């Protein structure tokens, strides 16, 4: 018999499925599904689709290392991830080839993606200089995705594709509480516990991984579906994070949800809202500075479940001139775990975005990474400043104690990179009365954001007709 708590979660998940179905139906009716939507959906499915099948078939493999249980994908699951990766690489190649055949391809070139590709190059060269082989399938998939982002269509589609698949993964996690409660529900730890008295990981291998995934998805869901479905599904995602038990994930989800409700980003009808924009970017700046300063100044090795120890270890190795300049490469932090200097559960990253980029690629990579984010914000302009700001907000908050943005390899949250790179349309100056293309992809036109001066009489009427929606 299903207990009341599980029944409530399942009922909320069923309601979320109905809301999602209605939202997707609207996007299909408005012809808003395009190549970018397919691209975003596949980038989410790379891992999450396999996680659904592994969880529902009860095929997770438990191994014990350093006195802690870890859950790994079985061999057929790894093969399935490779298969989806091949499809994603093929779609990326098609997007790239079709785009470069256009005459005006350089007018929409994504310079931020160029800088992120340069970060991967620095990480690969650093790996070679440190005696490692950087050729890996996961890195090849990541490079293919970034290459597609150089020329891929931008705008609403990427939000719809990512938002749809992320909500499906979240709903599958909600249903998992009755399908495989023995896996999805975990007992509380001494320092963390969800709102309902247990920790929850859904279809993912760890509660933190589940919380990071759902929190990063929230802006895409809100922006992609808008109307009432976007906020409603965001409430559902927030509830899942809060019962998960992740401390950083819960804080990031609450701040992100409140910010979305206050600034109300709308990609279909973008506006310049100075007060809301200032508020959003002040929060972004504060979290970014805190995330960069904390690991460089922390001297308590037991801070936040031994994160202080990791950061102090990274700082010690960065004291070498070569490491500080170009880092240790994409396998550098993995070697730290193999040397038993940290716990095996912490070997996937330095648990801080900024220190991880610095440790992996040095000052060269860190400058390129910050430059890519700055270009993303600069090119958004006033009209889309709220869009990119909301997409980057959960990344900035999670970056304080996690590594939510992949640097040189594909993983379960790789989709946030193309999601940010393609999150808003390219702004062009209108060549005539057509204006610029509507970001919704419906074929309608919108006026340029620079409104002309009002004129009296006949000239004023002519000017209004010139700038009206066509």
Tell me the DSSP string of 351-396: SSHHHHHHHHHHHHHHHHHHHHHHHHHHHHTTTTHHHHHHHHHHHH
Integer Cα distance of 439 and 417 in angstroms: 20
Token pair listed for 92: 């990326």
Report the 10 Å Cβ neighbour count for 182. Answer: 7
What DSSP assignment string belongs to 257-314?
HHHHHHH---SSS----HHHHHHHHHHHHHHHHHHHHHHHH---TTHHHHHHHHHHHH
The Cα 430–Cα 278 span in angstroms is 28
The pair of structure tokens assigned to 117 is: 């590709």
State the pLDDT confidence band at 454, using cuts at 50, 70 and 90: very low
Query: The pTM is what?
Result: 0.90
**pLDDT for 367-424, tens place per residue?**
999 999 999 999 999 999 999 999 999 999 999 999 999 999 999 999 999 999 999 9
Query: Which of 114-118, 309-313, 314-318, 339-343 comes out lowest in average pLDDT?
Result: 339-343
pLDDT digits (tens, 9 = 90+) for 200-231: 999 999 999 999 999 999 999 999 998 899 99
What average pLDDT score do residues 307-335 get?
94
> Who has greater pLDDT, 104 or 36?
36
Q: How many Å apart are CA 236 and CA 97, to the nearest integer?
A: 39
Model confidence over 343-379: pLDDT tens digits?
A: 777 888 999 999 999 999 999 999 999 999 999 999 9
pLDDT in tens, 243-287: 999 999 999 999 999 999 999 999 999 989 999 999 999 999 999
The overall average pLDDT reported for the chain is: 89
Of how many residues is the chain composed? 470
> Which ranges of 180-228 would DSSP assign to H, the alpha helix?
181-184, 207-225
* Domain range list for the chain: 4-427
The model's pLDDT over 126-162, given as tens digits with 9 standing for 90+, comes to 999 999 999 999 999 999 999 999 999 999 999 999 9
pLDDT for 79 beyond 80 = yes
The pLDDT, as a whole number, for residue 340 is 82
Q: What pLDDT does 305 receive?
A: 85
Geometric angle at alpha carbon 132, from 128 and 134, rounded to 5°: 75
Q: What pLDDT sits at residue 434?
A: 38
- 102 Ramachandran zone, left/alpha/beta (phi>0; psi -120 to 50): beta
The predicted pLDDT at position 1 comes to: 57
Give the model's pLDDT for residue 123: 97
Residue 293, CB half-sphere, CA atoms under 13 Å: how many? 6
- Maximal CA-CA distance, the chain: 82
Write the DSSP assignment of 227-249 as a string of letters.
TTHHHHHHHHHHHHHHHH--HHH
Look-up of token digits 């408005």: 30
Q: Mean pLDDT, to the nearest integer, of 93-118? A: 87
Distance between start and end Cα atoms, the chain: 59
Q: How confident is the model at residue 38 (pLDDT cuts 50, 70, 90)?
A: very high
Question: Confidence class of residue 443 from pLDDT cuts 50, 70 and 90?
Answer: very low
């Amino acid at each position: 018999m299903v207990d009341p708590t599980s029944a409530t979660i399942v009922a909320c998940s069923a309601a979320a499925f109905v809301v999602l179905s209605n939202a997707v139906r609207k996007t299909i009716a408005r012809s808003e599904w395009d190549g970018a939507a397919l691209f975003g959906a596949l980038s989410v499915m790379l891992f999450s689709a396999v996680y659904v099948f592994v969880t529902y078939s009860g095929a997770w493999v438990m191994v014990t290392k350093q006195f802690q249980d870890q859950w790994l994908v079985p061999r057929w699951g790894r093969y399935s991830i490779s298969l989806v990766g091949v499809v994603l690489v093929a779609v990326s190649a098609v997007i790239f080839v079709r785009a470069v055949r256009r005459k005006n391809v350089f007018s929409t070139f994504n310079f931020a993606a160029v800088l992120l590709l340069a970060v991967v190059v620095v990480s690969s060269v650093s790996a070679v200089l440190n005696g490692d082989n950087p050729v890996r399938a996961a890195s090849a998939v990541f490079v293919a995705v970034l290459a597609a982002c150089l020329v891929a269509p931008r705008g609403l589609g990427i939000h719809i594709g990512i938002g749809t698949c992320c909500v499906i993964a979240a709903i599958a996690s909600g249903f998992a509480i009755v399908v495989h409660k023995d896996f999805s529900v975990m007992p509380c730890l001494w320092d963390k516990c969800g709102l309902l008295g247990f920790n929850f990981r859904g279809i993912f291998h760890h509660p933190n991984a589940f919380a990071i995934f759902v929190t990063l998805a929230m802006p895409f869901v809100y922006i992609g579906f808008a109307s009432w479905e976007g906020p409603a599904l965001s409430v559902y995602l927030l509830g899942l994070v809060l019962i998960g038990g992740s401390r950083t994930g819960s804080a990031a989800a609450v701040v992100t949800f409140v910010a979305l409700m206050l600034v109300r980003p709308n990609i279909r009808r973008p506006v310049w809202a100075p007060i809301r924009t200032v508020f959003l970017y002040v929060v972004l700046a504060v979290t970014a500075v805190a995330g960069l300063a904390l690991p460089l100044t922390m001297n308590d090795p037991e801070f936040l479940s031994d994160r202080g120890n990791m950061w102090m270890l990274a700082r010690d190795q960065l004291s070498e001139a070569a490491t500080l300049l170009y880092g240790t490469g994409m396998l550098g932090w993995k070697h730290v775990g193999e040397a038993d200097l940290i716990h095996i559960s912490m070997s996937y990253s330095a648990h801080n975005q900024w220190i991880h980029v610095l440790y992996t690629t040095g000052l060269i990579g860190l400058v390129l990474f910050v430059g890519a984010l700055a270009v993303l914000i600069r090119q958004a302009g006033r009209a889309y400043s709220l869009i990119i700001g909301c997409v980057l907000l959960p990344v900035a908050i999670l970056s304080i104690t996690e590594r939510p943005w992949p640097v040189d390899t594909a993983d379960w949250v790789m989709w946030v990179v193309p999601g940010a790179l393609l999150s808003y349309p390219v702004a062009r100056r209108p060549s005539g009365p057509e204006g610029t293309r509507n970001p919704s992809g419906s074929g309608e036109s919108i006026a340029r954001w620079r409104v002309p001066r009002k004129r009296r009489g006949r000239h004023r009427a002519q000017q209004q007709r010139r700038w009206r929606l066509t």
